Structure 1
Amino acid sequence: MTTAIARDTDHIVIAGMAVEAPGGVDSPTSYWSALAASEELIGPLPRDRGWPLEELLSTYQIEGWSEVRDAGGFLDAAAQFDPAFFGIGQREALATDPQQRVALRVAWRALENAGINPGALEGEDVGCFIGCSPMEYGPRCAEVNEYSGNRVIGFGLSAAGRVSHSLGLIGPTMCVDSACASSLTALHLAAAAVREGDCEWALAGAVSVMGSPAAFFEFSKHNALSTDGHCRAYADNATGTLWGEGAGMVVVEHESRARRLGHRVYGRILGSHTNHNGKGRPILVPRTEAQERMIRKTIDKSGIDPADVKMIEGHGTATRAGDPIELTALQNTYGATGSRPLLGSVKSNVGHAQAAAGMLGLIKLLLAGRHGRIPATLHSENPTTRVDWDRSSLRLATELQPWEPTNDVRYGAVSSFGASGSNAHAIIAMPVTEENADF
């Protein structure tokens, strides 16, 4: 078989990373420590954002609505920001969605992690692709207030432009909103831009900071929230998802460039693909057929034997409809190879970080490959009975365990699916020679 690897040996690689997650996680090192220790980084709803908590926590009293638990995965440093460091005035900073502020922070750290000086990039042909969704932050624009004039660029969907402007990048720049599939869609677009020569290299990432509790109200009405304050991905006692926040950024470039400049190679992007469910069922309902089609196309692009994929970082929202549909698609693809791939979801640790969920999953996969261990998915001791586990070799990662390489490479896959009907998937190869290097 003529493979994608044979046609293109100068892979697109991930050469730097940064992450912020609940529980005070602010680096790849602290993130991996939490994952390896099977920590659940869930806490109470924030008390410093002016949310109507009394109303929110009593929605169950409304007929047809479910209870909102006082729990979620929230960033400790969401409100912390040094505007002068990024050349932003105080009033403009206050009017700016915290998603932009966090994006600036993780972009800077990702560059430093790659060994790139963030302050020396002005005029560089560098792209910036950031997954982000609107989060209802700040006062309305359609009124007169002290922040008028600063709000037009203060929305979260200007995050990529804010990063490029701050760093002086002149490559393609865009925010990507495909709901919960935004992260991997941004990665897909960044890799394509570098591959096609639209830019020399790129930043790809995603951010989610909840400026309002809108998602809790919406999913309370849908009766799709966790009833016990835990995100039990793929578990038989899963009752719904649990909202969270997070941010992640990676540096994407050709492997030849990374090697020449002495950058780390966390992983090679062997293939990525996005698609949509199409019409026919409600927009919030995922489709096995669409997910399976997307996975098969990604495998074809990667040029590898799917049996070599030993770790799958799934979407795993812990919803009764979504998880079985995803599991069926994975069983029909990776699970049909007989190689016993292990499946997990970081949402069991940090909650569902929405637009940033796929990026938190990707960075978990990269760290697992670098350390040669697959972290446990919490609450997965009793897998859902809504699928027949005996019909495929797919299994849940219920404990931290070694990840043996195949020909000195660890192959993994990561998925994300959006409420808008969009799906995204990527296959990553992590060379063993890169493992355990300092971050």
Structure 2
Amino acid sequence: MARSVAGDEDDIVIAGMAVEAPGGVDDVDDFWSALAESRELIGPFPRDREWPLREMFGLGRVEGWASVADAGGFLTGATEFDPRFFGITPREAVAMDPQQRVALRVAWRALEHAGINPTTVEHSEVGCFMGASFTEYGPRVGEVNEHSGYRAVGTALGAVAGRISHCLGLMGPSVTVDTACASSLTAVHQAAAAIRSGECDWALAGGVCVMGSPGAFYEFAKSHALADDGHLRAYSASATGTVWGEGAGVVVLESESRARALGHRIYARLLASRINHNGKGAPIAVPSAHAQEALVRRTIDAAGIDPRLVGLVEGHGTGTPVGDPLELTALCNTYGADARRGPRLGSVKTNVGHAQAAAGMLGLIKVVLCGASGHIVPSLYGNEPSPAVDWSATGLRLATELEPWEAPDGVRYAAVSSFGVAGTNAHAILAMPVLEDTDA
């Protein structure tokens, strides 16, 4: 089924976005510059979080454990917040999970990016769907301390979306989604469904990850799945594991008819999104190429496009020796099935690390910025492709340089994947109209 370049008034579109990423990146222009310039934003562990760094860096000397490199994708502004701007007392702000703080300010910026004054949306039927996962920030709730009385909301995952809705006065559905690393794409999927069903007029959707503890590094050091040198080399022959990171991203979603009526810029159309699970079989944390391939095929069918039109696939790409080969197999069987032509493949994780619940959103915003500029950015460390698949038999190619992105039918098509450690998989297909190209 062919889709028109003009789109459909019932399409869900992205009308604005905002991002925070490692390396001091706090807006989409900075993010685009970092991606286009092939900058790696991974750096040493922060020294102001009271983490047991000496113990962490010594784990490699403990039997059964792997070493932890002094590297991660950390938000430099994670401890910065102006509570009074958002009507929050300083005492309550200290008790809030930093994920609530970061998500709140990124949501505000997303509205501004869409040309919407955040102070004018109170009492509106606007949804808020945010991906977020576990945190170990602050003292335990079950003890007496100076933050008691604020910790119930301060530690609740539901308050990540709830804070945004409360601050802005949004009265549509407000949901925090936790499907682990698939959380933010799942949030986009649910937000789009809520708009289509009439639950809300439009919505904010995104994800956030600020690590309240170094727990993720301990877990993957024990399972020998961390990069031994602190570099995340997705889909590369030299990949040794993942590197954990932080980040946040929010997009403004609405129907195309609403966007056009209000004069909002249409950055991209969400042609289709789908969610599934790996099912039973391997251990819960082990990905499934079969489930991923089935998900991609269902999403392509729902989008109603020829998969050969997809010019860019933003993969999950964690750099792990188990996950990447399985994902490559699924992608080669779908988007790479025609050996004569296929999309470029990359992962923003090579730049910023694996931002967990926010990872899919950072990848989605990367894709939208590529579409807006008409260029595909390189995926770092892609010059030595993984030997897990026969690259000569597939149309899939790793993106290794900044290159023009052609749009033969007037639209640039892209796909984004995100897979959770608990078995949930998410996939989305986007279309970016060339006719509305401007600087990102």
1:194-209 to structure 2, matched below 5 A, reads 194-209=195-210
Match of 1:432 in 2: 434
TM-superposed deviation, 1:436: 2.1
Pair 1:326-2:297 in alignment: no
Match of 1:53 in 2: 53
TM-superposed deviation, 1:7: 11
Q: Is the 8 A contact 1:135 1:156 kept in 2?
A: no
1:57-68 to structure 2, matched below 5 A, reads 57-68=57-68
TM-superposed deviation, 1:279: 1.1
Match of 1:287 in 2: 288
Match of 1:421 in 2: 423
Deviates more, 1:381-390 or 1:215-224: 381-390
1:86-101 to structure 2, matched below 5 A, reads 86-101=86-101
Letter in 2 for 1:20: E
Letter in 1 for 2:369: L
1:244-259 to structure 2, matched below 5 A, reads 244-259=245-260
Q: Is the 8 A contact 1:121 1:168 kept in 2?
A: yes
TM-superposed deviation, 1:258: 0.7
Match of 1:343 in 2: 345
CA distance in 1, matches of 2:7, 2:106: 34
Q: Is the 8 A contact 1:134 1:156 kept in 2?
A: no
1:37-436 to structure 2, matched below 5 A, reads 37-155=37-155, 157=157, 158-337=159-338, 338-436=340-438
Distance 1:31 1:359, change over 3 A: same
- Name structure 2 gaps, 5 residues minimum: none
TM-superposed deviation, 1:6: 11
- What is the SS of the residue equivalent to 1:423? strand
TM-superposed deviation, 1:340: 2.1
- What is the SS of the residue equivalent to 1:378? coil
TM-superposed deviation, 1:2: 7.5
CA distance in 1, matches of 2:82, 2:156: 18
RMSD over equivalenced CA pairs, Å: 1.4
CA distance in 2, matches of 1:43, 1:221: 22
Q: Is the 8 A contact 1:308 1:339 kept in 2?
A: no
Letter in 2 for 1:240: G
1:260-282 Cα distance to aligned partner (Å, 9 max, x none): 11111110000000000011111
Q: Is the 8 A contact 1:5 1:303 kept in 2?
A: no
TM-superposed deviation, 1:184: 0.5
- What is the SS of the residue equivalent to 2:151? coil
Letter in 2 for 1:115: G
CA distance in 2, matches of 1:5, 1:297: 22
- What is the SS of the residue equivalent to 1:112? helix
- What is the SS of the residue equivalent to 1:149? coil
Letter in 2 for 1:241: T
CA distance in 2, matches of 1:102, 1:330: 33
Q: Is the 8 A contact 1:306 1:334 kept in 2?
A: yes
Letter in 2 for 1:401: E
1:367-411 Cα distance to aligned partner (Å, 9 max, x none): 000000000010111011122112211110011111001311000
Q: Is the 8 A contact 2:9 2:257 kept in 1?
A: no
Letter in 2 for 1:414: V
CA distance in 1, matches of 2:303, 2:238: 35
Q: Is the 8 A contact 1:132 1:156 kept in 2?
A: no
Match of 1:22 in 2: 22
Q: Is the 8 A contact 1:18 1:107 kept in 2?
A: yes
Letter in 1 for 2:38: S
Letter in 2 for 1:308: L
Q: Is the 8 A contact 2:8 2:256 kept in 1?
A: no
- What is the SS of the residue equivalent to 1:247? strand
Pair 1:32-2:40 in alignment: no
CA distance in 1, matches of 2:251, 2:98: 19
Q: Is the 8 A contact 1:4 1:301 kept in 2?
A: no
Q: Is the 8 A contact 1:210 1:245 kept in 2?
A: yes
TM-score of the aligned structures, taking structure 2 as reference length: 0.98
CA distance in 2, matches of 1:332, 1:9: 33
1:328-373 Cα distance to aligned partner (Å, 9 max, x none): 0000001013422100000000000000000000000000000000
Q: Is the 8 A contact 2:377 2:402 kept in 1?
A: yes
TM-superposed deviation, 1:114: 0.3
TM-superposed deviation, 1:125: 0.2
Letter in 2 for 1:18: A
- Name structure 1 gaps, 5 residues minimum: none
- What is the SS of the residue equivalent to 1:152? helix
Between the two proteins, what is the percent identity of the paired residues? 64
Q: Is the 8 A contact 2:240 2:320 kept in 1?
A: yes
Letter in 2 for 1:367: L
- What is the SS of the residue equivalent to 1:296? helix
- Matched positions, count: 438
1:93-128 Cα distance to aligned partner (Å, 9 max, x none): 000000000000000000000000101111100000
Letter in 2 for 1:365: V
1:11-39 Cα distance to aligned partner (Å, 9 max, x none): 10000000000011111100000000000
Letter in 2 for 1:372: G
TM-superposed deviation, 1:61: 1.0
CA distance in 1, matches of 2:266, 2:227: 38
CA distance in 2, matches of 1:10, 1:211: 40
TM-superposed deviation, 1:10: 2.4
